[in-house]
């Protein structure tokens, strides 16, 4: 997956470099762009994906409205470690999965005066994350295997978040068709944890209520590539 993302981004940059003008082109009312976000390619493994896409349009020569959806998906296996158990035992590998969707809408106010263009703004966001963990199962050969399953572990990342944030960023013009932007956000977040559910190998289910809380966040966001459609 990491290789696919790198190839796709490289193709976008090559196409944009081939058709775009190298000089700075100021934003104007009606400019529209497709957005592609990505972060931490070094942290993405063969079984994971993280990135997003969206759309941005300038309402005048300084203000743009954007919408962005980011996706994260992970799936991995946990070995039942047959070398440890040795002969006479059988097992099934465990599995860990995680899925997250982030939706965001924001306004950007640009200086619009050069290739390195500072901007500020604000927006709102919505995030949903769900997790599932199945323990490895081990037993004596000839016996039925069953594993414990945990959904939305309260010590993990499972959550639903509503947020409002201010942002401060820099947009660099690669050419007339492509820009790269990085930004910091200061956000107020309301978090609700889903109920955690454990299912024992016997089939017994136990639920634990999730909590609700708020927190303030400050941090760098994903790098965003914009490909302009009407220049």
Instruction: Say if CB 189 and CB 213 are below 8 A apart.
Output: no
Greater confidence, 13 or 187? 187
Question: pTM of the prediction?
Answer: 0.82
Q: Could you read off the pLDDT of 153-169 as tens digits, one per residue?
A: 999 999 999 999 999 99
**Which token pair is 13?**
């940059």
Could you give the percent of the chain with pLDDT greater than 70? 86
pLDDT score, position 1: 47
Tell me the fold of 2-228.
Answer: Porin (2.40.160)
pLDDT score, position 8: 46
Query: If you average pLDDT over residues 109-135, what whole number do you get?
Result: 96
Q: Where are the domains of the chain?
A: 2-228
Q: Is the dihedral of CA 37, 42, 43, 47 positive or negative?
A: positive
Burial of 181 (0-12, 13-18, 19+ CB in 10 A): buried
> What H or E segment, with its residue span, contains residue 186?
strand 178-192
Q: Is the pLDDT of residue 44 over 80?
A: no
Instruction: Say if CB 94 and CB 120 are below 8 A apart.
Output: no
pLDDT score, position 21: 55
Cα 2 to the center of its chain, rounded Å: 14
Q: Is the pLDDT of residue 45 over 70?
A: no
**Which token pair is 90?**
């059988």
């Amino acid at each position: 997956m990491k290789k696919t993302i790198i190839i796709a981004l490289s193709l976008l940059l090559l196409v944009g470099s081939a058709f775009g003008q190298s000089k700075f082109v100021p934003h104007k009312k009606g400019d529209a762009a497709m957005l592609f976000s990505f972060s931490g390619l070094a942290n993405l493994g063969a079984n994971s994906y993280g990135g997003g896409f969206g759309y941005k349009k300038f309402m005048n020569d300084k203000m743009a409205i954007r919408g962005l959806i980011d996706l994260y998906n992970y799936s991995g296996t946990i070995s039942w470690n047959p070398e440890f158990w040795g002969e006479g035992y059988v097992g099934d590998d465990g599995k860990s999965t995680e899925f997250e969707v982030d939706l965001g809408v924001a306004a950007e106010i640009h200086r619009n005066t050069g290739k390195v263009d500072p901007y500020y703004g604000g927006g709102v966001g919505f995030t949903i994350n769900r997790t599932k963990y199945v323990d490895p199962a081990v037993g004596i050969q000839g016996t039925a295997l069953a594993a414990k399953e945990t959904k939305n572990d309260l010590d993990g990342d499972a959550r639903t978040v509503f947020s409002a944030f201010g942002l401060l960023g820099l947009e660099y013009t690669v050419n007339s068709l492509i820009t790269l932007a990085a930004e910091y956000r200061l956000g107020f977040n309301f978090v609700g944890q889903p109920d955690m559910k454990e299912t024992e190998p016997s089939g017994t289910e136990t639920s634990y209520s999730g909590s609700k809380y708020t927190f303030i966040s400050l941090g760098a966001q994903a790098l965003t590539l914009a490909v302009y459609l009407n220049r």
